[in-house]
């Protein structure tokens, strides 16, 4: 169909349309609303054939999506931020049902204070639920990832729900040129979902997620989910190969930018990685051997790929666009856990940046590279720090003065 | 790369203008990115939207803090302490202002030192479309300043507007008005240098007690001192010779900003009147007329 200017939200909607989804339970929340608006419009004007139901809350929405998925219907739903938290209970529940539901989360910082700007505390809050997580940098990647997510979720060796994540505003409302795949090609990549055990039928009543009342049973089911999730890494490679063969675009579990001879590496996820890549390019112009590694999956966590990519590097700075209050950056902890037993491991630095969509400026990237270089010269790694500038502190000080807080 | 920033008010069409420009640049063979910044805002509130146009890959995201071109769709925003349309404008950058004033008068009025281009696109819109909706006109203006071709602009208007305007006649009028604006402006060369960013120190954030660091803070945008009188395109004006003091306008005002004077005649609190003109619509004897609001500092005392 060629290239079109699409927002991340409409790219997601196109992914859903091309995947020929059967059922979409929906509940709006900024900055996700445009996805369901677009789908609703297509269904009403006949350009998409699916059932669309507006629900009373995200809790019901995720329940309905899980139940429909269990009947064998290809199901999609989407939310953001506080909405995801409202449905949190059912996120764990439907993951335990082992249903191949695909859900787009449009990242937005969590309350309080309230904000609409993006960070990843919402999606990372459900990190351990059993949903696989694909994190996207561009609008194109959002569309492509929705298609790949169904392939992955519906694979018998996986059968776990998948979340595709995009940043609010920085992708959701940002338009850039996106290639809309041809519908016939999509059909050859993603055939109709024909579950071998579409078990949830009106004719055959049964209960989902029954009580097992025993640790030995419970352990078994939970660990099975873990193994299925780990399978997904290998299967994803097959999915990517197929995708590249049919559509010509190549994806991997990690995205490596100028990594080959790099010594100082940024680790970032999602749309702010574009800014990181620009910073890497500039650092290269200044003679710093910079590179960037972007995990596209956070669950399953691509441990061996990350270990390989970082072997022998001097220093790695993880920029977490999230904060685990009382601990620090979540991905930093994941990276440290991943690299701990490696003999030839790089120094690992931690920065928290871009919370609530706060910009990460070129100066802040330069600051990070300086810290990496000095750490590798001295062997001393400074404690984690928040990327926050003097002028930003002046701004909040002024705001507090207005509120009578001194 | 050219970076544009549109400043308008919710409902004026800044978002659509940035989209039309983005699509026009895309159709003209450039890499393009466009992005509106809004969330909880409503009609009348300051809104920004951005477009990036480049021959190279665009390795930026989010808001544009150092624009080459600023499009001001509502001149009252120039004196709005929150909107600050000129902030970060690069040396050699261009400011377009929607105003009946000449560029020279605008520079004096608002103390602008940069290259100013003006056109009363509100008037163009009222004359050619019949209402004050500025999206396609602002896109026409921006396309001209950014050096986008006329055919690409036409294509973009068709593509972007046909999704939101079903009336072909209205769509035609929009295109006509946009092209009028495009052709009225003299082509310019945008010659800006890349900004030299000032040193920003990354600091250690000090601990502060919850008494001062809890999020119960009033943003300046929410204080009662923030007046909305400059949101209007038209203001309601009462003719007391006809007015029967029936109070219909008082009870219909959605903002509750019409009161009665000592003689029982209604008057509007123009600081809070948003110019919706429900009062004029509802007045049984048509005692309320709408008067085009010309905003400039010299008239501020009048508001």
- In tens, the pLDDT along B79-115 reads 887 789 999 999 999 999 999 999 999 999 999 999 9
Residue B169, class by beta-carbon neighbours within 10 Å (0-12 exposed, 13-18 middle, 19+ buried)?
A: exposed
- Closest-CA distance, B172 to chain A, in angstroms, reads 22
> Within 13 Å of residue A22, how many CA atoms lie on the same side as its CB?
17
The answer to whether the beta carbons of residues B89 and B114 sit under 8 Å apart is yes
> B149 to chain A nearest CA, in Å?
18
CA diameter of chain A: 70
Domain co-membership, A264 together with A344: yes
Alpha-carbon distance A150 to A134, whole Å?
12
Mean pLDDT of chain A: 95
A405 part of a folded domain: no
User: Last residue of a domain, which of A219, A247, A275?
Assistant: A247
Task: Tell me which of B45 and A300 has the higher pLDDT.
Answer: A300
Domain-located, residue A397: no
Domain termination residue (choose one: A247, A270, A298): A247
A351 three-state secondary structure? strand
The answer to whether position A233 is within a domain reads yes
Determine whether B75 is exposed, middle or buried from the number of CB atoms within 10 Å of its CB (0-12, 13-18, 19+): buried
Look at chain A and count its residues. 406
Which chain B residues are closer than 8 Å to A175 by Cβ? 19, 22, 32-35
Q: Has residue B280 got a pLDDT over 50?
A: yes
- Identify whether A314 is part of a domain: yes
Domain contains A406: no
Full domain range(s) for residue A350: 256-392
Closest CA to B3 of B145, B113, B136: B145
User: Which pLDDT band holds residue A400 (cuts at 50, 70, 90)?
Assistant: confident
Give yes or no for a contact between B293 and B232, defined as CB atoms under 8 angstroms apart: yes
Q: Roughly how many angstroms between the first and final C-alpha of chain B, as a whole number?
A: 41
Q: What is the pLDDT of residue A211?
A: 81
Contact at CB, A361 and B61, closer than 8 angstroms: no
Do A73 and A197 share a domain, yes or no?
A: yes
Residue A76 phi, psi dihedral angles, 5° rounding: -135, 145
The pLDDT tens digits of the residues spanning A240-287 come to: 999 999 999 999 999 999 999 999 999 999 999 999 999 999 999 999
Let me know whether A295 and A368 are in one domain: yes
Looking at the structure, tell me whether residues A281 and A238 fall in a common domain: no
pLDDT, tens digit, for every residue of A320-342? 999 999 999 999 999 999 999 99
Indicate the SS3 state at residue A345. coil
- With an 8 Å Cβ cutoff, are A5 and B26 in contact? yes
In a domain, A399, yes or no: no
Residue B230 DSSP code: G
Residues A170 and A67 in one domain: yes
The CATH code of the domain that includes A322 is 3.40.50.920
For residues A72 and A91, state if they share a domain: yes
Using a CB-CB cut-off of 8 Å, the residues of chain B touching A363 are: 197, 199-200, 202
pLDDT at residue number A33: 96
Q: Which residue has the tokens 């776990």?
A: A160
Joined together, the tokens standing for residue B102 give 């000449």
A239: in domain: yes
Tell me: the pLDDT tens digits for B168-220? 999 999 999 999 999 999 999 999 887 666 677 888 887 777 666 666 554 55
Percent of all residues in chain A with a pLDDT value above 70, rounded to a whole number:
99
Q: Which residues of chain B are within 8 Å of residue A31 when distances are taken between CB atoms?
A: 39
Residues A284, A162 share a domain? no
Do A151 and A63 belong to one domain? yes
Q: Same domain for A190 and A314? A: no
- Of A203, A222, A247, the residue that ends a domain is A247
Count structural domains, chain A.
2
Strand order in the sheet with A385-386: A254-257, A290-295, A264-267, A315-320, A347-352, A385-386
Q: Are residues A200 and A326 in the same domain?
A: no
Q: Helices B135-146 and B14-27: crossing angle, nearest 10°?
A: 40
CA–CA distance, B111 with B296 (Å, rounded to integer): 12
Q: What is the pLDDT of residues A102-120, one digit of tens each?
A: 999 999 999 999 999 999 9
The answer on A42 and A117 residing in a single domain is yes
Kindly state whether residue A27 falls inside one of the protein's structural domains. Answer: yes
B147-to-A4, A51, A177, B30 alpha-carbon distances in Å: 21, 46, 20, 11
**Do residues A171 and A317 both lie within one domain?**
no
Residue A125 has pLDDT above 80, yes or no: yes
- What was the pLDDT predicted at B41? 67
For the domain that residue A241 is a member of, what is the CATH number?
Answer: 3.40.50.970
**Distance between A318 CA and the closest CA of chain B, angstroms:** 16
């Amino acid at each position: 169909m060629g290239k079109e200017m699409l927002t991340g939200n409409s790219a997601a909607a196109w992914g859903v349309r091309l995947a020929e989804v059967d059922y979409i339970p929906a509940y709006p929340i900024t900055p996700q609303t445009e996805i369901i608006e677009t789908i609703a419009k297509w269904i009403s004007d006949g350009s998409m054939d699916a059932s669309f139901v507006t629900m009373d809350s995200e809790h019901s929405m995720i329940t309905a999506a899980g139940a429909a998925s269990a009947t064998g219907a290809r199901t999609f739903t989407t939310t953001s931020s506080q909405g995801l938290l409202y449905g949190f209970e059912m996120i764990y529940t439907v993951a335990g049902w082992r249903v191949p539901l695909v859900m787009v989360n449009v990242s937005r910082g969590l309350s309080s204070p309230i904000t609409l700007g993006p960070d990843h505390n919402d999606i990372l809050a459900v990190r351990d639920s059993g949903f696989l997580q694909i994190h996207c940098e561009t609008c194109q990647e959002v569309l492509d990832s929705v298609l790949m997510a169904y392939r992955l979720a519906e694979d018998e060796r996986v059968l776990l729900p998948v979340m595709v994540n995009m940043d609010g505003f920085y992708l959701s409302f940002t338009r850039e040129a996106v290639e809309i795949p041809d519908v016939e090609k999509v059909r050859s990549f993603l055939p109709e979902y024909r579950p071998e055990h579409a078990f949830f039928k009106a004719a055959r009543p049964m209960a989902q997620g029954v009580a097992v009342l025993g640790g030995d049973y419970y352990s078994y089911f939970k660990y099975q989910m873990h193994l299925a999730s780990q399978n997904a890494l290998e299967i994803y490679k097959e999915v990517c190969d197929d995708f590249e063969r049919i559509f010509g675009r190549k994806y991997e579990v990690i995205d490596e930018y100028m990594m080959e001879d790099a010594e100082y590496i940024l680790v970032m996820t999602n749309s702010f990685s574009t800014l990181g890549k620009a910073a890497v390019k500039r650092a290269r112009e200044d003679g710093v051997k910079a590179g960037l590694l972007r995990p596209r999956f956070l669950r399953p966590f691509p441990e061996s790929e990350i270990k390989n990519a970082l072997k022998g590097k001097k220093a790695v700075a993880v920029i977490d666009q999230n904060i685990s209050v009382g601990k620090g950056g979540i991905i930093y902890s994941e990276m440290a856990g991943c690299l701990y037993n490696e003999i030839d491991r790089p120094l690992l630095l931690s920065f928290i940046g871009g919370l609530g969509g706060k910009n990460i400026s070129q100066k802040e990237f330069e600051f990070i590279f300086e810290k990496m270089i000095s750490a590798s010269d001295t062997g001393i790694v400074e404690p984690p720090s928040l990327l926050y500038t003097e002028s930003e502190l002046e701004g909040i000080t002024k705001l507090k003065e207005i509120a009578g807080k001194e | 790369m050219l970076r544009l920033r549109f400043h308008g008010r919710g409902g004026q069409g800044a978002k659509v203008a940035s989209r039309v420009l983005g699509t026009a640049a895309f159709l003209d063979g450039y890499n393009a990115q466009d992005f509106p910044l809004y969330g909880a805002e409503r009609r009348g509130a300051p809104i920004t939207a951005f477009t990036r146009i480049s021959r190279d890959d665009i390795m930026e995201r989010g808001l544009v803090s150092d624009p080459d071109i600023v499009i001001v769709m509502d001149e009252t925003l120039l004196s709005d302490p929150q909107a600050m349309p000129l902030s970060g404008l690069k040396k050699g950058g261009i400011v377009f202002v929607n105003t009946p004033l000449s560029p020279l008068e605008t520079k004096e009025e608002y103390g602008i030192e940069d290259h100013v281009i003006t056109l009363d696109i509100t008037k163009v819109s009222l004359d050619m479309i019949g209402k004050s909706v500025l999206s396609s006109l602002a896109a026409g203006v921006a396309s001209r300043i950014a050096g986008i071709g006329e055919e690409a602009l036409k294509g973009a208007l068709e593509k972007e507007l046909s999704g939101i305007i079903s009336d072909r006649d209205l769509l035609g009028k929009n295109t006509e008005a946009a092209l009028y604006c495009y052709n009225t402006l003299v082509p310019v060369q945008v010659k800006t240098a890349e900004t030299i960013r000032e040193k920003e120190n990354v600091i250690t954030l000090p601990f502060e007690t919850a008494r001062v660091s809890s999020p119960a803070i009033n943003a300046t945008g929410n204080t009662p001192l923030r007046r909305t009188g400059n949101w209007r395109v038209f203001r309601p004006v009462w003719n007391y010779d006809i007015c029967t003091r029936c109070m219909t306008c008082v009870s219909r005002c959605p903002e509750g900003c019409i009161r009665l004077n000592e003689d029982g005649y209604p008057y509007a609190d123009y600081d809070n009147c948003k110019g919706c003109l429900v009062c004029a619509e509802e007045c049984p004897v048509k005692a309320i007329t709408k008067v085009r609001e010309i905003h400039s500092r010299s008239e501020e005392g009048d508001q």
